[in-house]
Amino acid sequence: MTEQAPVLTIDGPGGAGKGTISGLMADRLNWHLLDSGALYRLIAQAAGKHQVALDDEAALAELAESLDVAFPVEDGQPSTLLEGEDVSRAIRTEQAGERASLVASLPAVRQALLKRQRDFCQSPGLVADGRDMGTVVFPDAALKIFLTASADERARRRYQQLQEAGVDASLSSLLKEIQARDARDSQRVVAPLKPADDAITLDTTRLSIPEVVDQLTELLVQRGIVADS
Is 17 annotated in a binding site? The answer is: yes
How many Cα atoms occupy the beta-carbon half-sphere of 163 within 13 Å?
9
186-213 burial: b if 16+ Cβ within 10 Å, else e: eebeebebebbeebeebebeebeeeebb
Is 15 annotated in a binding site? The answer is: yes
Is 130 annotated in a binding site? The answer is: no
Is 18 annotated in a binding site? The answer is: yes
DSSP helix/strand/coil, 56: coil
Is 166 annotated in a binding site? The answer is: no
> CA 174 → CA 21, 34, 181, distances in Å?
21, 26, 10
Non-local (6+) Cβ contacts of 88 within 8 A are: 78, 79, 80
Is 37 annotated in a binding site? The answer is: no
Is 224 annotated in a binding site? The answer is: no
Q: Which helix (H) or strand (E) holds 33?
A: strand 32-35
Is 12 annotated in a binding site? The answer is: yes
Is 76 annotated in a binding site? The answer is: no
Binding-site positions for ATP: 12-20
For the annotated binding site, the residues are 12-20
